[in-house]
Chain A
Amino acid sequence: MDDLKWLIAREIPHLRRYALALLRDPHAADDLVQDCLERALRKRHLWRQYGSLRSWLFRILYTVFLNTRKTQWRDQQTLPLEAIEFTLAASPNQEAYVEYREMAKALAQLPEPQYAAIMLIALEGFSYDEAAWIQGIPIGTLRSRLYRGREALRTMGAQTWRHGKVRRIK
């Protein structure tokens, strides 16, 4: 395996996590990641133009997601919670489970563009420049999506994960 493939392989868990966040269906998420990896290898000669391999991979993933979602996967903006609850099976205690379930419900209420932007930032820690490039939008649009999405979550989540009930790990 050459160096590029090694670098790409290191990102697979992160690509899977974001794909699961986008699709909330583990099988469909891995299909998406697989498609992303195949495209990345076919276009491997291009990535250096964009500076960061990591953001390049996420841009491919997100583009594939947008392109195939309507035809192949699903059309609706809010998706069932089962997939997310599936990932919660490992949660250590009931209180945490309830909190994250509430969070999952609130997230499911968000319009998809806001949801996708928040997930990209919250999960992967991209800078706003990178996130805007990954999603193919101006940085002002990204900022607006983040702001509206987060305020909506605040409103919905006022009784659950606010005020430090969710332990901070940062």
Chain B
Amino acid sequence: MTDHHPAVRDIDLMAYADGLLDADPKRKTEVETYLRQHPEEAARVRDYAAQNTAIRRLFNPVLSEPVPERLQAVLDYRRGWALGPVARAAIALGLILAAGFTGWVIGQRGQSAPWPMQAFVDQMLMTDERPYLTSRSDFNQALDQAMEERTQPLDWLSHQIAVSLQPPDLTSQGFTLVEKRLVAANGPQAVQIMYATSSGRRLSLFLRTRWQDESPQFRFAENDGVTMVYWLEGPLAYALAGQLDRQEMVDVVQTLRTSMRHQPQGTISQIAPDTAPPDTLLAPPVTPTQPVPSKYP
């Protein structure tokens, strides 16, 4: 289309403006020589490059937007492709539950673990030396981090259950958020949120997705000065561990449940309603380490 120079054509100029000659230094040099001899062509190349810049600026904000859940869901659960959004969500939930359950069965083969979350926490205790009490980083540093990455692991869990989650606020009980991280033991992944008081007492909350046939019983266990509480609510299973006495623990749990209940809930509640009314969860405390027989076998 141009007859200025036999060796350099429009496509070379465009390729130069598009940065496509960077991998071909010899050709690039030839084009640059040509451009020095032809200022009007150099202006054209500058215009092309400026167009590219303007176009990128125009559409680049899209790159930093969060990926819509429905697009991510296509990759996560491809069987949902022909169905409507509600059916997709139901299938997605089913797969999460099935995956979690399989992981649990594999993890528990040969053992007689009565209750998955308890087994999970027990595993955590075995595999990681007191992870519920120790923080991996220095306290203050961890606190800064917690402020910066306030919701990161929770975003992962939120994605799993299609419900937006914020770390529960326990400041009214004197506990400040210290650290959040993803933890896993033989399959099921959970989010661990660590709190501490100003005097250094620690408290760990484990959150993970529940599966359907779990019994919604509320359980206490005490072991070696550490109190643990397990319960289920909505789409989540909770475990709380700390060096607190039982009454303190009950207070913390009440605060926590109130805090979690006031968070925005998504579609999960329509798909998997609570199997127990919330008010029956805090039933009278049971004997330590002796789970109550389930009403829901």
Contact = CB atoms under 8 A, between A and B. Distances in A.
B60 to A, nearest CB: 7
Contacts of B57: 96, 100, 166, 169
Nearest to B80: A38
B19 interface: yes
B53 interface: yes
Interface string A94-132: 001001100110010000000000110111010110000
A84 B55 CA distance: 11
Contact of A38 (B20, B72, B81): B81
A168 B53 contact: yes
A61 interface: no
A13 B68 CA distance: 10
A80 to B, nearest CB: 15
Given A100-B54, A143-B10, A13 B59 contact: no
B49 A21 contact: no
Contact of A167 (B20, B53, B58): B53
B14 interface: yes
Contact of B65 (A13, A103, A150): A13
B38 interface: no
Question: Which bucket holds chain A's interface residue count?
Answer: 35 or more
Contacts of B19: 125, 170
Contact of B60 (A17, A34, A107, A121): A17
Contacts of B1: 147
B149 interface: no
A134 B1 CA distance: 24
B18 A154 contact: no
A107 B55 contact: yes
A167 B10 CA distance: 24
A157 B51 contact: yes
A9 B76 CA distance: 10
A122 B64 CA distance: 18
Contacts of A157: 47, 51
B34 interface: no
A150 B60 CA distance: 20
B4 interface: no
B85 to A, nearest CB: 11
A34 B74 contact: yes
Contact of B78 (A38, A96, A161): A38
A84 B58 contact: yes
B58 A13 contact: no
13 contacts: A5-B76, A9-B72, A13-B63, A17-B62, A21-B59, A41-B74, A42-B81, A84-B58, A100-B54, A103-B54, A147-B1, A166-B54, A170-B52
**What 4 pairs across the A-B complex have the smallest Cβ distances?**
A122-B55, A122-B52, A17-B62, A37-B74
